[in-house]
Amino acid sequence: MRQIPGIYLRQLFLLLLIGAIFGILFWNLRFFLPALLGAYTLYVLLRGVMFFLTGRWQWPRKLAAAVLMLVSFVAILLPVNWVFGMLRDRVGSLFQNSDSLLQNAERIIRGVEERYGISLLTPDNMRNFSEWGATQLQGIVGATFSGLGILVIAYVILWFMLAEAKNMEHSFFDWLPLKEENVEYVRVHLNNMVYANALGIPLMGLVQGLAGLLIYWLAGVRDPWLWFAVTFFAGMMPIFGVALAYVPLSLILLAEGQDATALLIFLYGFIVVGSVDNLARMWLLKKIGHTHPLITLFGVIVGLKLFGFIGFIFGPILISLFILLLKIYQKEFDRPAATTQET
C-alpha cells in the first residue's frame, strides 16, 4: 500500500491552517473590506503623483503622502458636502411632510391623466410606492453615514499604502501565488479597472450633469443646481441613465402647465444629452477603458446598499474585481487541450 509523501501532508496541513486563520480574520474584519477597497482605489489614482513627488522633486515620502491625502480628501469632501448641504433641507422636509408630498404627487399625476386622458397610477399604488421609496431612501442614507466612516478608515489605510508605496507593491505581487506573466496581467488590469470605474463613471455623470444644467438654467427651471445633482447621479446609472432626471422633470413641468418648457426639456434630454452620453463613452473607451453597462448597473445596486452614495464607485469596482479573479483563475489553471491529451 502506497503512502502519501510526508511533504504533501505537511503542505496540506499548512494550507488548511492558513485558510482557517484567514477565514477567522476575514469574518471579524469584514467591515473593513470596503475601506480597504477604497484605500486601494485612491492609491492607484495617486501613486503616479506620489512617485513623481518623491522621485523627481525628492520630497520625503511622509510629506508627499500627507499632502496628497489632504488634497484628495478636500476634493472628495467638498462635492459630497455641497450635495448633502443642498439636499439636506429638501430631504428633511420630505420626511416631515410625507402626507403633503403624497397629495402633491397625486395632484400632479391626476392633472396629467385629466389633460391627456390616460391612467398612470392609482392612489393605492402611489401610497405603496411612496412607502417603498421612503424605506429605500432611509436605507441609502443610513449606508451613506456608514460609508463616511468607512472613508475615514480608508484614509488611515491609505497613509500606510502611500508611505510604503513601492515596498508594499513589491511585497504584494511577490506574495501572489501566480505565474510571472499572470502577475503582470493582474498588475495591469487592476489599475485599468480602477481607472475605468473610479474616473470613468463620475466623469460620465459630470459631463451629462453639465449638459443638463445648461438647459435647466436657460429654461428657468426652479432649483437648477438640484436638478444638476439629480442628473449627475442619474448619468452614472447605465441603461436608463439621465432619463431618470429629465423625464420626471418634464412630467412635473407638464403638470404645472408649462407644456413648451416640458417638451423642450424632454427633447433636449433625449437628443442632446443622449448624444453627449454616447460621445463621452467613446472618448472614455479610448482613454481610460470601459466598464460594461451591466457591471455598472448591478455594481451601483450593490454599492448603494453596502456603502451609500459612494457605492456608485465602489460597487462596480467590487464586481469588476470578482470578474478579474475569475479571469486570473482561468489563465492560471486552464491548460490548452493539447497538453491534456495522453501521449
pLDDT at 257: 77
Is residue 227 assigned to a domain? yes
Task: Give the mean model confidence (pLDDT) for residues 75-102.
Answer: 63
Would you state the pLDDT for residue 265?
92
Q: What is the pLDDT of residue 338?
A: 44
Q: Does 255 fall in a domain?
A: yes
Average pLDDT over residues 65-92: 75
Three state DSSP letters for 227-279? HHHHHHHHHCCCCCCCHHHHHHHHHHHHHCCCHHHHHHHHHHHHHHHHHHHHH
More confident call, 100 vs 72: 72
Average pLDDT over residues 92-119: 62
Q: How confident is the model at residue 66 (pLDDT cuts 50, 70, 90)?
A: very high
Residue 117: DSSP 8-state: T
Summarised one tens digit per residue, pLDDT across range 155-182 is 899 999 998 877 888 777 777 777 777 8
Check whether 274 has a pLDDT greater than 80.
no
pLDDT value at residue 341:
46
Q: Considering the chain, what is the average pLDDT of its residues?
A: 77
Q: Look at the block and give the residue holding cell 469632501.
A: 77
Give CA–CA dist 84/68, Å, rounded.
24
Mean of the pLDDT values across residues 265-283? Answer: 81
Looking at residue 342, what is its pLDDT? 43
Point out the domain boundary residue: 150, 175, 200: 175
Q: What is the pLDDT of residue 153?
A: 86
The residue with greater pLDDT, 202 or 4, is 202
13 neighbors 4 (Cβ within 8 angstroms): no
Residue 240 lies in a domain: yes
Q: Over 80: is that where the pLDDT of 117 sits?
A: no
Chain centre distance of CA 140: 14
- Where a domain ends, among 128, 159, 175? 175
**What is the pLDDT at residue 321?**
83
Q: pTM for this one?
A: 0.70
In this prediction, residue 95 carries a pLDDT of 54
pLDDT of residue 65: 92
> 14-57: per-residue pLDDT in tens?
889 988 998 998 888 877 877 888 888 889 889 889 999 998 89
Q: Are residues 130 and 190 in the same domain?
A: no
At residue 105 the predicted structure's pLDDT band, cuts being 50, 70 and 90, is low
Residue 71: give the domain boundaries.
Answer: 30-175
| 45 contacts 71 by C-beta, under 8 angstroms | no
Q: Decide if pLDDT at 116 tops 90.
A: no
Give domain status of residue 297, yes or no: yes
Residue 20, domain member (yes or no):
no
Residue 15 domain-assigned (yes or no): no
Alpha-carbon distances of 275 from 27, 63, 65, 96, 208, rounded to whole Å: 46, 44, 40, 39, 10
pLDDT of residue 24: 93
Averaged pLDDT for residues 329-334: 78
What stretches of the chain show up as alpha helix (H) in DSSP?
Answer: 6-28, 33-55, 61-96, 98-116, 123-175, 180-194, 200-218, 224-235, 243-255, 259-267, 274-287, 293-307, 311-333, 337-340
Q: Is-contact 213 225, C-beta < 8 A?
A: yes
* 259 phi/psi in degrees, rounded to 5: -60, -45
Q: Are residues 218 and 142 in the same domain?
A: no
Mean pLDDT (whole number) for 280-289: 65
Least confident of 70-79, 146-155, 178-187, 306-315: 306-315
Q: Are residues 138 and 163 in the same domain?
A: yes
Same domain, 142 and 198: no
- pLDDT, residue 272, reads 87
Does 2 map to a domain? no
Asked whether residue 195 falls in the same domain as residue 94, the answer is no
- Which one is predicted more confidently, 29 or 68? 68
Q: Which of the two residues, 73 and 106, has the higher pLDDT score?
A: 73
158 and 219 together in one domain: no
For residue 17, the model assigns a pLDDT of: 92
- And the C-alpha cell for 260? 413648451
Asked if the structure places residue 340 within a domain, the reply is no
Average pLDDT over residues 327-334: 80
Which residue, among 288, 265, 255, 251, has the nearest Cα to 211 in the 3D structure? 265
Residues 200 and 329 in one domain: yes
- Give me the number of domains the chain comprises: 2
Residue 63: per-residue pLDDT: 92
Residues 208 and 266 both lie in one domain: yes
Residues 6+ apart with CB under 8 A from 83: 229, 309
